[in-house]
Amino acid sequence: MRVLILGGDGYLGWPTAMAFSYKGHQVFVVDNYLRRSLCRDLDVEPLFSTPNLLSRIRIWKEITGKEMQVEIGDCCEYRFLIDIFRKFQPEVVVHYAEQPSAPYSMLNYEAARLTLSNNLLSTLNIIWAVREIVPECHIIKLGTMGEYGTPDIDIEEGWIEIEHKGRRDRFLFPRQASSLYHTTKIQDTDLLWFYVRTWNLRVTDLMQGPVYGLSTPETELDERLSTFFNYDELFGTVVNRFIVQAVAGYPLTVYGKGGQTRGYLNIRDTIACVELAMLNPAEFGELRIFNQITETFSVNELAGRVRRVGLDRGHEVEIRSVENPRIELEEHYYNPAYTGLKELGLKPHLMTDEVLHGMFEKVERHAAGIHKHKIFRRVKW
Ligand code: USQ
């Protein structure tokens, strides 16, 4: 298929691009290096440096013989984006081109504005480019489980039937996020749903939980193909952070009581889910929503697992509760449904000790790249 991957330089975008190219799809990647420049400006660069997107694509070709097309530019620039749609005529567009960090979105006014305008405008532009150039193109949008928040009822897969005063109808599941970043994802979903109803678009919204891991079959082909791996408070996700903290001898930073429960997934499963969505597209006029997680853990459970494996590997691992910089429930009910992707054929890579050992191994090799001052800077909500 002709797959356009927006945000193809990022933590998930690059491994997705490689996986799809490896399988023989025609891949076109676009990125404006926003993540790289924010990390540089804020002194939170990743654990190891990765070649820029143009070099990565050259290396990819050198190793696999496969070509990818690329443009460096901003999806918020409509003319730039629509030219790519015209040239490439994608059958699928995978939209990762968003500012992905909750703490970054809460840093200051400028960060809030950048998050809001980047995330909503990129989504709007994709919708319009599809409508104008390739109306049959399937939009796969990365959403987030954080859109639902932590309600005191079971979380359905995107939709809920409500009976009210004797009548029934189907609605988007109630959403109530706990950061501006997560709120922009709700707004994305609303935009997509409006245009699906209005213009008969075909859209899959993947409500993803925090992703962990740094290896996929393709990143393992060559060290230079590694993905962007943040461990700092702004751009690092919790499991990745805990592994780095354990290797650095930095107490694992459990925020508050540590009862915050989320659905997690291995980076390999992110790619598998996006691929399943691509191969089984939504219908025209359908906003299809999947909860993209494979298992749930509390922060305390994660810290306990990382500690156990870390001790096994000879690290001294302490767990420390720090005052929670975020406003979120620290003890709550959490029971999300996540059967849709399994029904499409997902075979989850769960968080076994072996998987954690694999992550430790790679992080240990790069231990010299850990800078403790990047781990915790107290971005408060
Ligand atoms: N947490 C800690 N200690 C830390 C870091 C985080 O206790 O050092 C806690 C947080 O308070 C939160 C949980 O761990 O309760 C998850 O935090 P996270 O930073 O791993 O994830 P989050 O900020 O929610 O965002 C990440 C990705 C985002 C994605 C989201 C999925 O950055 O792009 O959308 O996970 S979800 O959380 O399901 O909304």
Angstrom distance (rounded) from CA 117 to CA 259: 33
Atom of ligand 1 nearest to the CA of 260: 15
Query: pLDDT for 342-381, tens place per residue?
Result: 999 999 999 999 999 999 999 999 999 999 999 998 899 9
**What pTM did the predictor assign?**
0.98
Cβ atoms of 341 and 273 closer than 8 Å: yes
At residue 378, the 3 state secondary structure works out as coil
Q: Bridge partners of 30?
A: 6, 71
Residue 380 counted as domain residue: no
Cβ atoms of 47 and 231 closer than 8 Å: yes
Minimum CA distance residue for ligand 1 atom 33: 100
Can you list the residues of the chain whose pLDDT is less than 70? none
Which of 144, 261, 381 to probe ligand 1 with, by most ligand atoms within 8 A of CB? 144
145 CA from centroid of ligand 1 (Å): 10
Q: Bridge partners of 93?
A: 4, 139
Atom of ligand 1 nearest to the CA of 326: 11
Residue 274 counted as domain residue: yes
Q: Which residue from 47, 30, 31, 27 is spatially nearest to 39, judged by alpha carbons?
A: 47
The residue whose two tokens read 């001052």 is 373
Residue 368 counted as domain residue: yes
Q: What's the pLDDT score for residue 83?
A: 98
Q: What's the pLDDT score for residue 377?
A: 85
Phi-psi region of 206 (alpha: psi -120 to 50; beta: other; left: phi over 0): beta
237 CA from centroid of ligand 1 (Å): 6
Q: Bridge partners of 162?
A: 169
Query: pLDDT for 308-337, tens place per residue?
Result: 999 999 999 999 999 999 999 999 999 999
The Cβ of residue 175 has, within 10 Å, a number of other Cβ atoms equal to: 19
Q: Domains in the chain: how many in total?
A: 1
Q: What's the pLDDT score for residue 202?
A: 98
Active site residue 181: yes
Please report how many Cα atoms fall inside a 13 Å half-sphere around the Cα of residue 40, on the Cβ side: 7
Which of 232, 262, 264, 378 to probe ligand 1 with, by most ligand atoms within 8 A of CB? 262
Angstrom distance (rounded) from CA 317 to CA 328: 26
Q: What's the pLDDT score for residue 378?
A: 87
State how far Cα 337 lies from the chain centre. Answer: 19
Residue 258 counted as domain residue: yes
Cβ atoms of 318 and 182 closer than 8 Å: no
Cβ contacts of 61-65, under 8 Å, gap ≥ 24: 63/221, 63/222, 63/225, 64/21, 64/22, 64/221
344 CA from centroid of ligand 1 (Å): 26
Domain that includes residue 68, residue range = 2-374
Atom of ligand 1 nearest to the CA of 143: 34
211 CA from centroid of ligand 1 (Å): 9
DSSP 173: P
Residue of 11, 96, 148, 181 with catalytic role:
181
Residue 366 counted as domain residue: yes
Residue 314 counted as domain residue: yes
Angstrom distance (rounded) from CA 161 to CA 266: 31
The residue whose two tokens read 């015209």 is 86
Which of 175, 293, 299, 328 to probe ligand 1 with, by most ligand atoms within 8 A of CB? 299
In Å, how far are 101, 105, 257, 348, 378 from 322, measured between CA atoms? 20, 21, 9, 32, 10
Amino acid letter for position 91: E
Residue 273 counted as domain residue: yes
Amino acid letter for position 282: A
Give phi and psi for 357, each to the nearest 5. -60, -40
Q: What's the pLDDT score for residue 4?
A: 99
Atom of ligand 1 nearest to the CA of 144: 34
**CATH code of the domain covering residue 96:** 3.40.50.720
Residue 379 counted as domain residue: no
The residue whose two tokens read 């939504």 is 282
